[in-house]
Every structure is written in structure tokens, then in C-alpha cells.
Structure 1
Amino acid sequence: MQDNFGKPETLLADNGYFSNNNIQACVKQKITPLIAVGREAHHLPLEQRLMPDEPEPANG
């Protein structure tokens, strides 16, 4: 069976994969690692969710 995808050039991963070992493994294989180093909260506190939207700028 022929490999139609070739060699990967980039790794895209979430923050659960961020480690020195994973970065070094990518470097060794000449793969550019794009790994999240942090995480944003998914849900704002109730007070912030219920606040009115800020007005749009007048000059758009």
C-alpha cells in the first residue's frame, strides 16, 4: 500500500500534549510543533454573560 500523505511537517495539538519530551521529539523529526501552552475558560461567570454587549465603534 502506498503512503499518500507523505511526511508530516507540522503537529497541531492541545495543551495536554505540551511537554519538553514532545517538543524534542518533534525537533528530532523536523516537525514544527504548534502546541497550546494554556487554556481559556469555556464559560464566563453568570454576571459577565448577562452584561449587555459593548456598543460598536461609530466609524466601524
Structure 2
Amino acid sequence: MAGSDMHPLLMWWEEERRKVENKALERIDAQMTGLESPQRKRFLRAEAEEETQAKAG
């Protein structure tokens, strides 16, 4: 979505939402050592997704 057609308050909200998502993804990367099973990776991604939805919503 182009930033020029968004209301300024919505632009702020979108920026904050992206920050929350990026932090969650960085945390997952820090937890992973590269030796995790695919099941463990799915679990960590699901946890991060739930966290981003809880913080954003």
C-alpha cells in the first residue's frame, strides 16, 4: 500500500505494526541454531505469528 494515500494516523499504526513483526522475526532467528527440526521451526513461527497478532490487535 502506498504511503501517500494513507491517513497520517494510519501510517503511524502501520509503522508500529511493522516494528512489532520485525522484532518477533528477529527473536525467532536468534532462537534458531540451524539444527531445529521442521516441526520445531513451524512451532516457533506459529508462536511469533500469535505474538504479532496479539500486539497488533
How high is the TM-score relative to the length of structure 1? 0.26
Q: Relative contact order: is structure 1 or structure 2 higher (C-alpha 8 Å, sep ≥ 6)?
A: 2
Higher alpha-carbon Rg: 1
More strand by share: 1
How high is the TM-score relative to the length of structure 2? 0.27
More helix by share: 2
